[in-house]
Structure 1
Amino acid sequence: MNKKAPGQLWLGVFVCAFLFLGQLSLAMAAPGRALCSPPANLEAARLDSVVDGDTLRLTDGRMVRLIGVNTPEIGRDGKPHEPFAVEAAKAVERFLGRDLLLAVGQEATDRHGRTLAAVYRARDRGHLGEYLLLQGLGWHIVVPPNVSDLSCLQQAEGEARKRRRGVWNEVAPLLKASELDKRHRGFQRVTGTVSRVDSSRSAIWVEIDRNLSLRLSKRDLPWFSGIDIESLAGEKLTVRGWLIYRSGHNPRYPAHMMSLRHPAMLELDKD
């Protein structure tokens, strides 16, 4: 009998609870009813152009990066479009129109200077991120402290996964950690078995199949309350996030790294 350590049980409970709540809310919601409710204070804005599915340019010059959603990349500098990238950008244009409302995040800007916000359609306060995820035109992401729509966006993605819409129709393959090489970069979903858990002064490092290091900053540990990360050794996981290939890295460590900011970016595989 394979007895689970307390931390493993906590992670399993965490993942199962999210899945259960998602299914329950979807079952209770009437067809067409919004999952994400807008906050009271919203900022009016006007759309200038759609850069891609998760990035907008406003008429006041600001660039807005959607909170909670990552869409496939539009090809630039000779690179091809990722599957569903063009569809996601066109869906944003159809859904929003020109007048929109912003709920700026607790963390208001990213390292590129873009405004981080949930975006709503002005005429009926429809949530753009929810719409994109329901259509399977992106993936749910969680970057603390901007977590206010976590539950409803996870539910929206769950519906698309169940119905195999868009990116969930096997066009974006799940990568195996053991097969990663220097070609694999950018946003990915990766699966593998935890081979080692280590700690440094500023982070906990979770190694997957000796070929991928997940970096969990100790500043983010409060988000993992109740989860014993060290007990994950030997567990099979699926993670999502941005892969960084570290050329010229120390050969004692995996060449690929991914930051793990929130447990919602981590799935404990049942099999």
Structure 2
Amino acid sequence: MKNALRVNTRSAFFFASILITGVFTSAIVLGGNCNSADLQRGRGETITVKYNYDGDTLALNDGRKIRLIGVNTPERGRKGQPDEALAMEAKQAVKNALQADSSRQKGVRLYLGREQSDSYGRQLGHVFVDGQSLAATLLSQGLGWHVEIPPNVGLASCFANLEKKAKRQQKGVWRKSLAQYVATKNIKQGGYQRVRGTVRKVSFAKAWWINFDDGFVAVIYPENQPYFKQSTVSSWRGKRLEIEGWVYPSKYRGKKQWRIKLATPHGMSVL
């Protein structure tokens, strides 16, 4: 599935969300549970889902497309390419939760995010079935990865905890046979990945730059800096980090450089 993020004008890249395990202290607090009451604010509506493209994208009877907030599920194959592992399982889990026959659907509610649409024309939202978040269902079964993109972070803490539990239990994408990471020095292509590397340098300008030993760079732009504590970011020098997110190509002094944007602390850990 396509990610629900806009392309930054500085370069064509995908946004990533990051988790610093046990070190996140910030003036901005991400939501603490998966209760739809936290999202109501008069924005909820009852919907009927016609079908789901995959685990994280739905088509409604009224013609709208919905991209679930907080989760990224394995890709369905396109143009002759095979599905990624567990792509069909994620799609089926959502189908089962919704019930295949749309005429039998009851209690399906949509809560749009503070940012309500993406560059693909899809609406961004949380979908609840009888009070249960579809994203939470997927994350608890290990059928997707937790991603959070500000300002749609209302249930981030709950989703992060569900992912950590699935990871500990080696469910779904976290099974040892599937949960692979790429060393930053071995990155050959963009897209959603788990990467590991050692931080060589941290510098603070308008953007905050985290440079790894092999040229890989993580960037915290000004709009996302309130989610991080500068002293914590500074402490990453010399440490090994694991990051989940979308890797994108950029250029530095005429040379290709792989980067990832740090949007929130969810999705990353200090090893």
Both proteins in one fold, TM over 0.5: yes
DSSP-derived class of the 1:14 partner: coil
Give the Cα–Cα distance (whole angstroms) in 2 for the partners of residues 252 and 195 of structure 1.
Answer: 21
Distance 1:160 1:252, change over 3 A: same
Q: Is 1:154 aligned to residue 129 of structure 2?
A: no
| Aligned amino acid, residue 93 of structure 1 | K
CA deviation after TM superposition for structure 1 residue 236, in Å: 0.8
Give the Cα–Cα distance (whole angstroms) in 2 for the partners of residues 55 and 71 of structure 1.
Answer: 9
Give the Cα–Cα distance (whole angstroms) in 2 for the partners of residues 155 and 228 of structure 1.
Answer: 21
Match of 2:36 in 1: 38
| Aligned amino acid, residue 195 of structure 1 | R
CA deviation after TM superposition for structure 1 residue 213, in Å: 1.3
Match of 1:89 in 2: 91
Q: Is 1:138 aligned to residue 144 of structure 2?
A: yes
* 1:118 corresponds to which of 109, 115, 126: 126
DSSP-derived class of the 2:84 partner: coil
Q: Is 1:232 aligned to residue 236 of structure 2?
A: yes
Match of 2:183 in 1: 176
Give the Cα–Cα distance (whole angstroms) in 2 for the partners of residues 242 and 57 of structure 1.
Answer: 24
Q: Is 1:242 aligned to residue 249 of structure 2?
A: no
| Aligned amino acid, residue 188 of structure 1 | Q
5 Å-filtered alignment, 1:202-217, equals 203-217=207-221
Distance 1:253 1:234, change over 3 A: farther
| Aligned amino acid, residue 241 of structure 1 | G
| Aligned amino acid, residue 38 of structure 1 | S
DSSP-derived class of the 1:120 partner: strand
Is the Cα–Cα contact under 8 Å of residues 51 and 89 in structure 1 kept in the other structure? yes
Distance 1:13 1:158, change over 3 A: closer
Match of 1:28 in 2: none
Is the Cα–Cα contact under 8 Å of residues 210 and 254 in structure 1 kept in the other structure? no
| Aligned amino acid, residue 68 of structure 1 | G
Percent identical across equivalent pairs?
A: 34
| Aligned amino acid, residue 70 of structure 2 | G
Residues 96-145 of structure 1: CA deviation (Å, up to 9, x unaligned) = 22342111111111222211111111xx2211011000111001111111
Match of 2:264 in 1: 262
* 1:105 corresponds to which of 90, 113, 136: 113
Give the Cα–Cα distance (whole angstroms) in 2 for the partners of residues 47 and 86 of structure 1.
Answer: 18
> Runs (4+) of structure 1 moved beyond 3 Å?
198-201, 225-228, 249-254
CA deviation after TM superposition for structure 1 residue 220, in Å: 0.9
Q: Is 1:14 aligned to residue 23 of structure 2?
A: yes
Residues 195-246 of structure 1: CA deviation (Å, up to 9, x unaligned) = 2223554x22212232321121111111113544233221111111101134
CA deviation after TM superposition for structure 1 residue 156, in Å: 1.2
Is the Cα–Cα contact under 8 Å of residues 56 and 64 in structure 1 kept in the other structure? yes
Aligned residues: 236
DSSP-derived class of the 1:238 partner: strand
Query: Unaligned stretches of 5+ in structure 2?
Result: 1-19, 26-31
CA deviation after TM superposition for structure 1 residue 253, in Å: 5.7
CA deviation after TM superposition for structure 1 residue 15, in Å: 5.3
| Structure of greater relative contact order (alpha carbons < 8 Å, 6+ residues apart) | 2
What is the RMSD of the two structures over their aligned residues, measured on CA atoms? 2.3
* 2:224 corresponds to which of 212, 217, 220: 220
Distance 1:58 1:96, change over 3 A: same
* 2:54 corresponds to which of 52, 65, 85: 52
